[in-house]
Amino acid sequence: MFLWRSLLVLLPLCCSGTVSADSFTNHPPRRPVPEPPAPERIEVIELPVPPVSQSDEPGSCTPEVNPRSTGCIGVNPHIRSGSFLPDNDHLIVTVTFTGAPAAPDPAHIYSGVQLIIVKTNGLTYSNGDPWRCVTCGMPEENRPEPDDVEWDYGQAFFDGSRALIGGKIFECRGALLSSESCTPDKMHIFPIWWEGSADASTFDGAIREPRLHPDGVHFGFSAMKQSGARLGQFGYFSRLIFNPSPPEGSPRYELVNVTRLYDPKSPGQISAKGQDLIFNAEEISIGEIRGFSGRGKEVTYVGAPTESCNIDAYAADLTTGKVRRLTSHPEYVDPLDISPDDQWTVILDTRGSDRQMFMAGVRGIPPVTDLITTSVCSSTRNNGRRRFFQPWLVDRYGDRGTYFGQQINAGGDGSPGSVNDPNWNAWADPKWSPDGTKIAYWQELVLPPACGGHNPLPCPESTADGGRVQRIMLATLLDRAPLSLEPVAEVSDLVPWGQRYDPEAEVPTRPQPGPGEYTLQGHHSGFAEVVLSAAGSGSDLTGVFVDYHDYSDDGVLVLNGVENATYDRLSATLQRVWLFSDLDSTGPVNSTKTTSSEGFTLEIDVLTNIFNANGTLETTIDGTVYKQPANRT
């Protein structure tokens, strides 16, 4: 997205070590789970990409820069790595070529956004390059117009000849994408179409965050809906079919039997029953689809948080609706990929950066103020274009005790350009190889204005080839034997707990409690007095007041104190939240969450993610203090 590339989310250290605050722990698991896994050996290298031209001027990609005349990329080449091809030795990558000579020079075809296939096994193609461009020189009649969709989130079909890239299907007819017989004249690009209403009030919006189901015939995606000043989003599941002769336009793939991944019978994660407020963490609340489990039985997503301001990843069974919490660390997670055998998850997470600890570090706070603050809480994870993500490996049973996974790229020395240089940050999506022994991800170096100028972080110089600011990384899990798995069985079109999509029906509004005074009982003990308020005669909540009295959901951590939040939507994407907090949590870990006397006001756009606050909000965990970022950092 951004809308695909801005990673907008609209939401209703090592294996046995700790991260940041080595004293906080997770809630005890509900059922016995294995001991955390031991650390494993991981080798991380950078994969080769085309050489860099220092100029975008035509002809600047000279034989001196690329002796094979197979194209150059720029310093900011818009690299996007995708998934592995089925042979485990090739990776889908999109780049922007630049500096090509004019026609009739044969190298003129290496221009603009293109799909390349990169070898991951250290070998080269017959011309000596470790990559091949399969769309450079592609006939114009083989690609749809207009070509206005970002070429990102590349995902290979298991037939090896097709890939989903940025909401379109790329197909090499009669050849595998990894083969040298896959030439540009065999490449075709097909759009993806789904039925929408001409009435903007009922149209869910354009396809975004597309994800291919591992059975190769189903497709998940998200779509946004604006109603007045409110911007919302739902996830969808559908079957993908090819239509060679649609009533209008060129051949295309179509989404049929579309299901909105939303249960209209659900009261919501937080609901009201009389004067009682009910918190049910098991409710499905899909904000944005992130993909599917390795065997395809679950959809993964980021949704309504289980703990206040703690944005986590979840999986819901497509048949039963059973929800599985994949992560619980207080830091922010979003991009992820579950291993082909469903036993591991690779995540891109801010854990270790302390970016979110000032607001999410206190454990066990129910997400009551999040009725109005979730999108703001999630928007502090970035500083504009800069992400704070690093890749982590977490086992199937997730964060528990003092286990918060293993940082995949922890093995470097932290120096400029090293594999764990903190100024190189990961972007969506990480991807497993089909045999489960390798993980690919891509990174970008911090760029102005997230460094230099008003920002105290000096802008680093890139040590990558030609000074480029993006790179593709390959992690090899050295202790693992290759998996040998049967192909994923085709799943049903039917999602029993979902809502059949009707293009003429009104897009639903997620339920929430109305204004009023409520009592929220702790699942184990204590209670909280809650006051929900709305502006004027409206029903949209604009204020939440919570007073905790020995409140505990797990019988381990006990909350006392107050939180008060008010919310003002300045536009569909620009929001302002005022928060007053004076909370104490006692138990094995003692923590506080407090604001300055005038409270903490945060104004932030969910698209641009520039932190702009007045007042202070800080969390203290067993004496360790976590403060908010400085404005615009």
Q: What is the pLDDT of residues 354-386, one digit of tens each?
A: 999 999 999 999 999 999 999 999 999 999 999
Whether 417 has a pLDDT exceeding 70, the answer reads yes
pLDDT of residue 203: 44
Whether 546 has a pLDDT exceeding 90, the answer reads yes
- pLDDT tier at 14, thresholds 50, 70, 90: very low
Burial class of 447 by CB neighbour count within 10 A (0 to 12, 13 to 18, 19+): middle
pLDDT of residue 62: 98
Whether 10 has a pLDDT exceeding 60, the answer reads no
Please say whether the beta carbons of 61 and 90 come within 8 A: no
Rg of the chain over all Cα atoms, to the nearest angstrom? 25
- pLDDT tier at 1, thresholds 50, 70, 90: very low
- pLDDT tier at 6, thresholds 50, 70, 90: very low
Write out 385-402 in H/E/C secondary structure.
Answer: CECCCEEEEEECCCCECC
Pairing of strands 591-595, 218-227: unpaired
Over residues 115-137, mean pLDDT: 98
- pLDDT tier at 32, thresholds 50, 70, 90: confident
pLDDT of residue 225: 77
Query: Quick one: which of 13, 23, 96, 45 has its CA closest to 475?
Result: 45
Separation between Cα atoms, residue 126 and residue 346, nearest integer Å: 33
Q: Tokens 């390959």: give the residue.
A: 474
Query: In Å, how far are 6, 53, 95 from 114, measured between CA atoms?
Result: 21, 16, 6
Q: How far apart are the first and last CA of the chain?
A: 23
**Tokens read off for 458:** 């000096």
Please say whether the beta carbons of 129 and 70 come within 8 A: yes
Report pLDDT digits (tens) over 161-208.
999 998 899 999 999 999 999 999 999 999 999 987 444 444 446 888
More confident residue, 54 or 23: 54
Whether 594 has a pLDDT exceeding 70, the answer reads yes
Q: Average pLDDT over the chain, rounded to whole?
A: 92
Whether 455 has a pLDDT exceeding 70, the answer reads yes
What are the start and end residues of each CATH 2.120.10 domain in the chain? 42-353+388-477
Whether 4 has a pLDDT exceeding 50, the answer reads no
Query: What is the pTM assigned to this prediction?
Result: 0.93
List the strands of the sheet with 298-303, edge to edge.
286-292, 298-303, 313-317, 323-325
What is the three-class DSSP state of 111?
coil
What residues contact residue 239 under an 8 Å CB cut-off, 6+ apart?
A: 217, 218, 219, 255, 256, 257, 493
- pLDDT tier at 227, thresholds 50, 70, 90: low
Whether 237 has a pLDDT exceeding 90, the answer reads yes
Whether 147 has a pLDDT exceeding 80, the answer reads no
CA angle 607, 612, 618 (to 5 degrees): 115
**Tokens read off for 407:** 């940082």
Whether 149 has a pLDDT exceeding 80, the answer reads no
pLDDT of residue 364: 96
What residues contact residue 148 under an 8 Å CB cut-off, 6+ apart?
A: none
Domain covering 42-353+388-477 in this structure, CATH number = 2.120.10
Over residues 611-615, mean pLDDT: 97
- pLDDT tier at 214, thresholds 50, 70, 90: very high
Whether 12 has a pLDDT exceeding 80, the answer reads no
Most distant CA pair in the chain: distance in Å? 78
Report pLDDT digits (tens) over 283-310.
999 999 999 999 999 999 999 999 999 9
